[in-house]
Structures are given as C-alpha cells and as structure tokens.
A and B are shown apart, each in its own frame.
Chain A
Amino acid sequence: NAGVMQNPRHLVRRRGQEARLRCSPMKGHSHVYWYRQLPEEGLKFMVYLQKENIIDESGMPKERFSAEFPKEGPSILRIQQVVRGDSAAYFCASSPRLGAEDQETQYFGPGTRLLVL
C-alpha cells in the first residue's frame, strides 16, 4: 500500500508567481490535511478536507491560499502571488474514514519544500 504522495518534492518560485502543491492520500483514505513547517518550528495546521468539502480551514491565511480535494484526483494547495515568507515545507497527511480502527491516525507525506526567490 503506497503511502501519502506529494509532488513536487521541491518547488522554486519567484515572488508574485503561483505555487501548486499536490497530495495523493493513501489508498482508501478520505480525509486530507495540510500543514506548514517553518525552519526550527513545529508543524502548523492549515486546512482539513474531505472529498469535495472543506471541513476546517481555520489555519489557512485569509488571502492568497486555497485548497481543494476534488472527487477525482489529488488534493491541491494553491498559493497565489507568493512572497518570501511563504518559503517553508508543506506537508500533507491523510487519515482513513470514520469508523476505521485507526481513524484518528494521520499519515504524513514527504512534503514539498517551497522556496520563494
């Protein structure tokens, strides 16, 4: 069973460009989470999605950031008009459906390292 997949692993953007980060959850998982990790910091929750629904976006910046998890295909974290402060590692995690034995366990992907020049 493949784990959580994220691509690209590294992304370089210039200020003002758009960054699109992709996450494919583990097979059978219907919950996706995005986290941001700054150097020497813990992970900060951004958004929690289920298929076609945003459940909790309390950690998302109000502007320039958006996330989706369509019925088909990976979850996308989109950052418009990137600034240098957006440089960070962005991790996606997935968890199984409610009622599964490990329903509260979040499995993390390898992350996307975004560098804004």
Chain B
Amino acid sequence: QQQVKQSPQSLIVQKGGISIINCAYENTAFDYFPWYQQFPGKGPALLIAIRPDVSEKKEGRFTISFNKSAKQFSLHIMDSQPGDSATYFCAASPWGGGADGLTFGKGTHLIIQP
C-alpha cells in the first residue's frame, strides 16, 4: 500500500482557535479519505470522510478540504475545545465498488490549551 504523509506530528492550539492537520497521498487510485479521532486506550472513531467529487465537506466544527490536483487533503477544527485533544489520523483507500484496507497517516497529537 502506498504511503499517506501526515503533518504536523504534534500541534498545540489555544481554546477557540483553529486546528489544521494536513495529509498528502501518492496513489491516484485512492478515492475515499476518512479522518479518525483516537483517545488514549481507545480504538479510532470515524470523524468525517470525503470523496474526491467534492472539494469540501463540513460537519459541525469539522471541515475537510480536498485538493485533487495536488493530492492533498486537510482537516480543520473550528473553535477548538479541550475535549478535542486527541490523536487524529488521516487515511485513504481505493474505491472499486468494494471495501478495502485503509492506508493511515502516522497521526497528529493535538492538544487544546484552555
């Protein structure tokens, strides 16, 4: 599976600020891009996902921006709250009408300071 590069590795944001996490991919067959949130000792939980037919998707305070030509996508967390402190993973998979294994980025440790 080809790599998904995620940055930054760690991020500290003040409460109420905007948290931005970026990912880049190489495999042009990737067609599905989810973001997962993981708290210590827990399994990853799906936060939001996007397909390349749209450039942006918003759900509450969470927005994915997608740039197909640059093969990049990013997660924006608006009005960041201390409860958002967690590790965030971007992922990607091809979409051939079936389900495939996800390729994950290495994760971003996000800390929201009160």
Contact = CB atoms under 8 A, between A and B. Distances in A.
A41 to B, nearest CB: 6
Contact of A106 (B95, B99, B107): B99
A33 B95 contact: no
Interface in A48-84: 48, 56, 58-59
Given A35-B102, A40-B107, 4 more contacts: A41-B107, A45-B104, A104-B49, A106-B34
Name the residue in A42, A47, A58, A107 with the highest tally of chain B Cβ atoms < 10 Å from its Cβ: A42
Given A33-B101, A103-B99, A45 B43 contact: no
A40 B104 CA distance: 13
Contacts of B93: 104
A113 B37 CA distance: 18
Interface string B7-46: 0000000000000000000000000101010000111111
Report which residue of B44, B95, B97, B104 has the largest number of chain A beta carbons within 10 angstroms of its beta carbon.
Answer: B44
Interface of A: 4, 31, 33, 35, 40-48, 56, 58-59, 91, 95, 98, 103-111
Contacts of A110: 41-43
Nearest to B98: A98
Nearest to B9: A40
Interface residues of B, number: 26
A45 B91 CA distance: 11
Given A104-B32, A104-B95, A56 B44 contact: no
Q: Count chain A CB atoms within 10 A of each CB in B42, B101, B102 and give the residue with the most.
A: B101
